[in-house]
A and B are shown apart, each in its own frame.
Chain A
Amino acid sequence: MASRTATEDDIPDTEPDLVPSLDDLLLRFDEGSKRAAARLISIVEEGRPEALAILDRLYPRVGGAIRVGVTGPPGAGKSTLADRLVELLVRAGEKPGIVAVDPTSPFTGGALLGDRVRMGPVANHADVFFRSLGSRGSLGGLSLHTAEVADVLDAFGCSWLLLETVGVGQSELDVAQKAHTTLVVLVPESGDGIQAMKAGLMEIADIFVVNKADRAGAEKLLEEIELSIDLKEWLGWRPPVFLTEARGGRGVEELHQALLAHRRWLEEHGMLQQKRRQALESRVRDLVEDVLHRELWQNGTLLQSLRDGLDTIERGEDSPYQLARALVEQGRAALAVRRALERGHPREPKG
């Protein structure tokens, strides 16, 4: 090692004088601070206790942004396409936010988030916010908290949100639930591989893109997709299929127009409201389940009973089904007791 480590004295105190409180952070967020927005995103992404309070506070301002899910196999050019769309959006006076998800290693918990490499100079435009997320244990194509992160950016004033997935696989439903418009990006080479997942893609795609359309097989794939679309019955919106060459910008303007058209269609047919309602339902349900789940296992007694029960099962004295029934009873009773206690000793509302 050529370096010599500086002693403590050499290192100036670079810490800010004040640790920003949550209120400070929210205040600065309101003033348009990207740093504050980024911090809030981290808190939400980590699922820290303050997250719910933050989201609650931001909720009235959520809802303005058009959310576009971008999914497709790795190497389909999703990032490049997103880059070109962002260029168009910025030129049209919009404020795009990009949330790009890359896989987290299930073994180390680490992740290499490389989507910025594909972004051109527009990533540095003042009206653009780009955030990379690790999938962090989510089995879908997005991370567990992508929708909440999108909410923060929505409240921050982003008018468009591009949610870029890890790749096609188990991600279809995940994206479709979180986006208003789902863009499925394919390339000519994905032709054969697409067969298997075509049914799934047909369920979720609002718009198909055949990117890298200068390559052999693009027209053929386009025809195959059109054929599959024709085989299905559509209620109103029939997914259009576009040929693009994101690198050269070909077809991107048409795609932009299609996104706008889909948005209008959603609005005119009350679908946007319906989608939002569906998203709300699953969001609230998740929140409730999350809280109940945590409360249920909170004080360790139930877990201890479970472990004790396992011993009983192993000795052949009980069955898993009997044990489960007993634990449900125990859990219910514990929750009831806690509620009674809470009524007796109201706690300070937190947050």
Chain B
Amino acid sequence: MEEKIRVLIAKPGLDGHDRGARVVANSLRDAGMEVIYAGLQQTPQMIVNAAIQEDVDVVALSILSGAHMTIFPRVLQLLHEAGADDVLLTGGGIIGPEEMEELQRMGTGRLFGPGASLSEAAEYIREEVRARRARRGD
């Protein structure tokens, strides 16, 4: 049997607009994943602490505050310091194409903008985790 995919969903920043994070949490659960919902007001350090202890395959962040260019790199760095480079970092928000490219160059996975499809996101996560596990030799 294939190992369960575990996803941490967190919402960094001070605002409380969690509609998107919650909808995605529901949809990944329905896609058969174990979703650890960390909720609001999460700092990069809190996110990485949770990712480590929960041994997740994926960290998915919802960022609407415009702080994506600081938060994604910070989480990447902390994951790296924790020896968790194999964790897929993805997420969504209002992020321009150039910024998406730049973040992906830094090491994030695919990022999703407004109007993205839920099933597409779930499919992407499934494929990407499968590929990473194969490379890891699981």
Q: In the bound complex, how far is the Cα of B26 from the Cα of A2, in angstroms?
A: 23
Q: Binary interface profile of A, 1-41, with partner B (CB < 8 Å = 1, else 0)?
A: 11111100011101110010000000000000111001101
For residue B71, CB closer than 8 A to chain A, the reply is no
Q: In the bound complex, how far is the Cα of B55 from the Cα of A33, in angstroms?
A: 12
B106 CB, min distance to chain A CBs, angstroms: 8
For residue B15, CB closer than 8 A to chain A, the reply is no
Assess the A112–B39 pair: CB atoms within 8 A.
no
Q: In the bound complex, how far is the Cα of B54 from the Cα of A19, in angstroms?
A: 19
Assess the A10–B53 pair: CB atoms within 8 A.
no
Given that A116-B50, A124-B49 are known contacts, is A15 also in contact with B32, CB under 8 Å in the complex? no
B5's nearest neighbour on chain A, judged by CB, is A110
Assess the A110–B31 pair: CB atoms within 8 A.
yes
Residue total for B at the interface (Cβ-Cβ under 8 A): 52
For residue B19, CB closer than 8 A to chain A, the reply is no
Q: What size tier do the contact residues of chain A reach? A: 35 or more
Assess the A105–B29 pair: CB atoms within 8 A.
yes
For residue B64, CB closer than 8 A to chain A, the reply is no
Contact partner, B32, options A5, A108, A116, Cβ 8 Å: A108
Collect the chain B residues with CB atoms within 8 Å of residue A111's CB: 29, 34-35
For residue A42, CB closer than 8 A to chain B, the reply is yes
Q: Which of A6, A19, A41 has the most CB of B within 10 A?
A: A6
Given that A10-B104, A116-B37, A117-B37 are known contacts, is A1 also in contact with B50, CB under 8 Å in the complex? no
Collect the chain B residues with CB atoms within 8 Å of residue A131's CB: 53-54
Within 8 A of B (CB), among A99-148: 104-105, 108-114, 116-117, 123-124, 129-132, 134, 136
For residue A46, CB closer than 8 A to chain B, the reply is yes
Assess the A1–B83 pair: CB atoms within 8 A.
no
Within 8 A of A (CB), among B55-107: 55, 82-86, 95-97, 100-101, 104-107
Q: In the bound complex, how far is the Cα of B48 from the Cα of A38, in angstroms?
A: 13
Given that A1-B115, A130-B53 are known contacts, is A113 also in contact with B36, CB under 8 Å in the complex? yes
Assess the B136–A4 pair: CB atoms within 8 A.
no
Collect the chain B residues with CB atoms within 8 Å of residue A104's CB: 34
Assess the A110–B114 pair: CB atoms within 8 A.
no
Given that A3-B111, A108-B30, A117-B37 are known contacts, is A15 also in contact with B135, CB under 8 Å in the complex? yes
Query: Which A residues are within 8 Å of any B CB, using their own CB?
Result: 1-6, 10-12, 14-16, 19, 33-35, 38-39, 41-42, 46, 48, 104-105, 108-114, 116-117, 123-124, 129-132, 134, 136
Query: Which B residues are within 8 Å of any A CB, using their own CB?
Result: 3-4, 6, 25-26, 28-39, 45-46, 49-50, 52-55, 82-86, 95-97, 100-101, 104-107, 110-117, 120, 132, 135-137
Q: A2-B113, A110-B35 are in contact. List 6 more A-B contacts (CB 8 A).
A: A2-B97, A4-B100, A35-B83, A110-B31, A112-B35, A132-B34
